[in-house]
Amino acid sequence: MAAHLSYGRVNLNILREAARKELREFLDKCAGSKAIVWDEYLTGPFGLIAQYSLLKEHEVEKMFTLKSGRLPSADVKNIIFFVRPRLELMDIIAENVFSEDKHHSSRDFHILFVPRRSMLCEQRLKEQGVLGSFINIDEYILDLIPYDGDLLSMEYESAFRECYLENDQTSLYHTAKGLMTLQALYGTIPQIYGKGDCARHVANMMLRMKREFAGTQNQILPVFDTLLLLDRNVDLLTPLATQLTYEGLIDEIYGINNGYVKLPPEKFAQKKQGEASKDLPTEPKKLQLNSAEELYAEIRDKNFNAVGAALSKKAKIISAAFEERHNAKTVGEIKQFVSQLPHMQAARTPCFPTLLKNEIQSLSNNSRQYPVSPVSASEAFFDNLTVEQEFMTGVDTDKVNTYIEDCIAQKDPLIKILRLVCMQSVCNNGLKQKVLDYYKREILQTYGYEHILTLNNLEKGGLLKPQTSSRNNYPTIRKTLKLWMEDANEQNPNDISYVYSGYAPLSIRLTQVLARPGWRSIEEVLKMLPGPHFEERQQLPSGLHKKRQQGENRTTLVFFLGGVTYAEIAALRFLSQMEDSGMEYIIATTKLVNGTTWIKSLMDRPESQTP
């Protein structure tokens, strides 16, 4: 299941194995049969590390979801809570433990905090009077989770909000810790570059932690040559734009979480007439999306306009290869044929080629003609895209946009409106006070006054702001970094701008320029972007200096603090594959995001809103 992690340039399976080993060790510490009570949020990230079978081998007999009230009965010796360090969860645990004691006094309680123990939580347990009931309080450091062969994620959803709204740097501490673990496994990373305040913090912490370990030296030959730390707030624009790669679009339309996409049952109801309908699913179906599926790996980073052609080509190759089975006569030939089976893995998951087929087909059709009302979903999609592209190219960003106005009048989803307004603000280096006031007023009147709180959050996060200086430096940044490419080639891309059909993500341009010709060439632009940029070196023991072969690629780990999109990942993979780039990229992030999930994480949830 995890084989796809070891195919990449860096064998990330080592990290997964380390995490599994630690999990086994913890489970063995609680001798005897056990039941795990899960903080539901954690099951997703844990799924990337271990299957139920591993837990079963270590005497986990039951698993429950954490809920208030009494624990379900289970004839086990140990009850282990797997939880995030959150106060509200502590209250539930306390309730569980309280109602338990009277019935079974023989069960042992344990808590495993993921990813860190928390003083605050332990204090809360103490206040509730249950801290003493726990035999074991431990932490399971799940900082960086291997997500795919070239991708690591902390699955830390609130990182951006915590860093930029609440100024809570805990997630940065976890990041630094995660990077230390990574270095323990893959060797010290000799060069560190960074841009942004959070990047600076993380680098400082790493250097400090390294000093604490001084005396013993890491003897592993470094796998990574360079680490690049990037703050999400250096590039607020990219996540706001609609991703136009296949995988990005799946994420925009259905949402990908912890590597899985949930698809509505209609997607699978296309059975032929006459077939029994009792097998039709009624619940959404979950599909795992990663490079283990070869066909998916091949098309996921393509622009959606190129997916149809790619699939068609692939279908031909597969059927041709398959015809060869008739020619296989000897045992050897059959073996040879069987060995090719992994290349025909499309056989296993019938959904990939057809996933999004309707969406993409209608989108592709409509990109060619001007449809007259009624407003269809795809027309709305293209109108939206047109406005986004206008903003990114700097057209009329200083006026109230009529499309946004119309969307508000039609009561389109609030997040869509916020994405667009924020985008306009970012592309204009802040909105004119009059324009900002107008948007705010319209939004509050249409969606409710309580959203004052959300608008304030967006201002604090820098996504929405009044123009303070009369100078809008976005055009300079756009021109210097070539953020807009007029002739983006979607079918056979020659530049990263294909991932947004014209817009080259700023974050990836920074990465590209760093590799060649270097940041010195863009000092002026770097100064316009928020936060410091810096370079640090970590000394290697003399024996560990790599002797580079002629033409051997270098490896850079790019860490996005505060989230990264699938389209950005696609752009980095594109750079890795470019023949003359000489650089391979491994990507790490606090969380995979898209504009919608990102804005949502910044909204002030009226949690206690009355029905």
Tell me: does residue 173 bind another protein (CB under 8 A). Answer: yes
H-run or E-run covering 20 = helix 13-29
Instruction: Name residues whose C-beta falls within 8 Å of residue 368's C-beta, 6 or more positions apart in sequence.
Output: none
Q: How many other β-carbons are positioned within 10 Å of the β-carbon of residue 203?
A: 20
Give the dihedral of Cα atoms 228, 234, 236, 242; nearest 10 deg.
-40
The minimum distance between CB 466 and another protein, in angstroms, equals 10
Selected from 153, 238, 501, 596, the binder of another protein by CB under 8 A is 501
Interface region with another protein, contact rule CB under 8 A, candidates 303-311, 469-477, 541-549, 553-561:
303-311
Site for another protein in 123-162 (CB under 8 A): 123, 126-131, 134-139, 141
Distances (CA, A) of 468 to 311, 358, 384, 428: 49, 45, 28, 11
* Structure tokens that stand for 153 in this block: 């994620």
- Single-letter amino acid, residue 101: D
Tokens of 226: 């360079």
At 572, list the tokens: 């980095």
Scan residues 575-594 and list those touching another protein (CB under 8 A): none
For residue 253 the two structure tokens come to: 């339309």
Q: What are the C-alpha distances in Å from 400 to residues 387, 392, 457?
A: 12, 16, 21
Q: What share of the chain is helix, strand, coil (3-state, %, to 5)?
A: 50, 15, 35
- Residues in 212-251 at the binding interface with another protein, rule: CB under 8 A: 212-216, 218, 244
Q: 1 vs 537, which CB is nearer to another protein?
A: 1
- Contact between 3 and another protein by CB under 8 A: the answer reads yes
Q: Is there binding between residue 458 and another protein (CB under 8 A)? A: no
Residue 607 Cβ vs another protein, minimum distance, rounded to whole Å: 8
Write each residue from 18 to 47 as x if it is in contact with another protein (CB under 8 A), else as -, in one continuous string: x--xx--x---x--------x-x--xx-xx
* Contacting range for another protein; rule: CB under 8 A; set: 94-102, 471-479, 537-545, 574-582: 94-102
- The SS3 of residue 568 is helix
Of 341, 434, 524, 548, which one interacts with another protein (CB under 8 A)? Answer: 341
Question: Among 6, 364, 472, 553, which residue interacts with another protein (rule: CB under 8 A)?
Answer: 364
For residue 610, give the amino acid letter: T
- Site membership for another protein, residue 286 (CB under 8 A): yes
H or E segment to which residue 83 belongs: strand 78-83
Q: What is the rounded end-to-end Cα distance, in angstroms, of the chain?
A: 44
Q: Which 391-430 positions form the footprint of another protein (CB under 8 A)?
A: 405-406, 408-411
Residues 249-278 close enough to bind another protein by CB under 8 A: 262-263, 270
> Who's near 562: CB < 8 A, 6+ residues apart?
159, 160, 163, 164, 198, 231, 232, 233, 590
User: Which of 103, 325, 471, 548 is close enough to bind another protein by CB under 8 A?
Assistant: 325
Instruction: For residue 117, state whether it binds another protein (rule: CB under 8 A).
Output: yes
Answer for which of 389, 393, 467, 476 binds another protein (CB under 8 A) is: 389
Contacting residue, 105, 273, 330, 368, with another protein by CB under 8 A: 368
Smallest separation, CB 432 to another protein (Å): 14
Size of the site for another protein (CB under 8 A): 159
